[in-house]
């Protein structure tokens, strides 16, 4: 058996980097086993270029997305999630919220990046400012000019970049790792997985202590797996009011004496955040798997 790190995941195929730096294409032992970029694994070589993942080390964090029928791991052992927005094209605030909630639900620090700040967009800036008032770390960036503002954030972290298509994730990766393009091609050539490279999740080492995971552009981010109690807590501005409603099974929709609704009415909690909470709660209720 050899120890390795999952550095790329394409559906049910994984590239595992061994301690000597070699990258081996692997499958899992069973159909039900799921791995993701960032996983520390033990593999058994089946020949010089292929192997089977026999064991997955305990994970310090696990980031999921899901629909009504199944959940899928996006990345393992990440320490922060970088949510990339841009001044244009305009971003979906719903998707931003889903990324934030996914991060809160698995205990990972989210950082919100507004990219393409060389192109002014007052509305986007205003939205960013709102999330800063909630307490989130926000960064203004123009990745096309410089990614220097990200460097101190990335140090000693395993970060995952998530965001809609076109926000600038590839631009950020290319600026951080100018050699990435050639490396991706090199790996795909040796492992014959070229056709998958655009939809894969990849982990890149920035230095010995820091890594960054690039994920494909998201159109939706299902959170059917997140239960109501976790959801409530994931909306950070709800926290002081949880348990303060008149009814202890309050759904925060129409109940009298609802502490959350009162905050919305008074303008202390943004109505959109409560609407997103209700949407996510409804999704969890129709989940068909356990």
Residue 254 in marked binding region? no
Residue 210 Cβ vs ligand GTP, minimum distance, rounded to whole Å: 20
Closer of 88 and 253 to ligand GTP (Cβ): 88
Only segment of 74-82, 92-100, 104-112, 253-261 that touches Zn ion (CB under 5 A):
253-261
Alpha-carbon span 58 to 49, nearest angstrom: 26
Residue 113 Cβ vs ligand GTP, minimum distance, rounded to whole Å: 10
Residue 165: exposed, middle, or buried by beta-carbon count in 10 A (0-12, 13-18, 19+)?
Answer: exposed
Residue 250 in marked binding region? yes
Query: Are the C-beta atoms of 138 and 84 separated by less than 8 Å?
Result: no
Taking every pair of Cα atoms in the chain, the longest distance, rounded to a whole number of angstroms, is 67
Binding site for ligand GTP (CB under 6 A): 115-116, 118-119, 142-144, 163, 165-171, 217
Query: Are the C-beta atoms of 76 and 201 separated by less than 8 Å?
Result: no
What is the per-residue burial (b if ≥16 Cβ within 10 Å, else e) of 174-209?
Answer: bbbbeebeeebeebbeebebeebeeebbbbbebeee
Q: Which does 202 bind (CB under 5 to 8 A by kind): Zn ion, ligand GTP, none?
A: none
Closer of 98 and 252 to Zn ion (Cβ): 252
Closer of 121 and 193 to ligand GTP (Cβ): 121
Residue 26 in marked binding region? no
Residue 212 Cβ vs ligand GTP, minimum distance, rounded to whole Å: 13
Residue 115 in marked binding region? yes
- Report if residue 273 touches Zn ion, rule: CB under 5 A: no
Of 106, 250, 276, 280, the one binding Zn ion (CB under 5 A) is 250
Residue 226 Cβ vs ligand GTP, minimum distance, rounded to whole Å: 24
Q: Which does 245 bind (CB under 5 to 8 A by kind): ligand GTP, Zn ion, none?
A: Zn ion
Closer of 213 and 260 to Zn ion (Cβ): 260
Pattern 201-240, Zn ion, x by CB under 5 A: ----------------------------------------
- Report if residue 169 touches Zn ion, rule: CB under 5 A: no
Q: Which of 154, 168, 70, 72 is nearest to 109 (CA)?
A: 154
Alpha-carbon span 131 to 149, nearest angstrom: 19
| Number of chain positions touching Zn ion (CB under 5 A) | 5
Alpha-carbon span 37 to 42, nearest angstrom: 14
Residue 164 Cβ vs ligand GTP, minimum distance, rounded to whole Å: 7
Residue 118 in marked binding region? yes
Beta strand 23-28 pairing with 40-45:
unpaired
Residues near Zn ion (CB under 5 A) are 245, 250, 252, 258, 260
Q: Residue positions in the annotated binding site for GTP?
A: 115-118, 163-171
Q: Residue positions in the annotated binding site?
A: 115-118, 163-171, 245, 250, 252, 258
């Amino acid at each position: 058996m050899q120890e390795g790190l999952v550095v790329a995941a394409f559906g049910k195929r994984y590239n595992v980097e061994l301690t000597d730096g070699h990258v081996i294409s692997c499958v899992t032992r069973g159909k039900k086993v799921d791995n993701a970029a960032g996983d520390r694994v033990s593999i058994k070589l089946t020949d010089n270029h292929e192997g089977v993942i026999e064991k997955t080390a305990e994970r310090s964090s696990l980031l999921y997305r899901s629909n009504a029928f199944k959940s899928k791991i996006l990345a393992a052992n990440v320490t922060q999630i970088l949510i990339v927005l841009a001044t244009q094209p305009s971003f979906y605030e719903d998707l931003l919220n889903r990324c934030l909630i996914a991060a809160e639900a698995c205990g990972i620090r989210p950082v919100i990046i507004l990219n393409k700040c060389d192109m002014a967009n007052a509305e986007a800036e205003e939205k960013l400012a709102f999330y800063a008032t909630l307490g989130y770390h926000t960064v203004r960036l123009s990745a096309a000019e410089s990614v220097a503002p990200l460097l101190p954030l990335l140090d000693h972290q395993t970060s995952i970049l998530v965001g809609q298509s076109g926000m600038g994730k590839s631009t950020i990766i290319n600026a951080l790792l100018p050699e990435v393009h050639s490396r991706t091609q090199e790996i795909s050539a040796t492992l014959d997985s070229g056709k998958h490279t655009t939809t894969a999740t990849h982990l890149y080492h920035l230095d010995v202590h820091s890594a960054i995971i690039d994920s494909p552009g998201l159109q939706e981010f299902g959170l059917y797996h997140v239960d109501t109690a976790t959801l409530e807590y994931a909306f950070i501005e709800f926290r002081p009011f949880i348990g303060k409603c008149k009814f202890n099974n309050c759904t925060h929709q129409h109940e009298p004496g609802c502490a959350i609704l009162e905050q919305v009415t008074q303008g202390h909690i943004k109505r959109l955040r409560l609407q997103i909470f209700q949407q996510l709660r409804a999704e969890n209720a129709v989940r068909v798997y356990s």
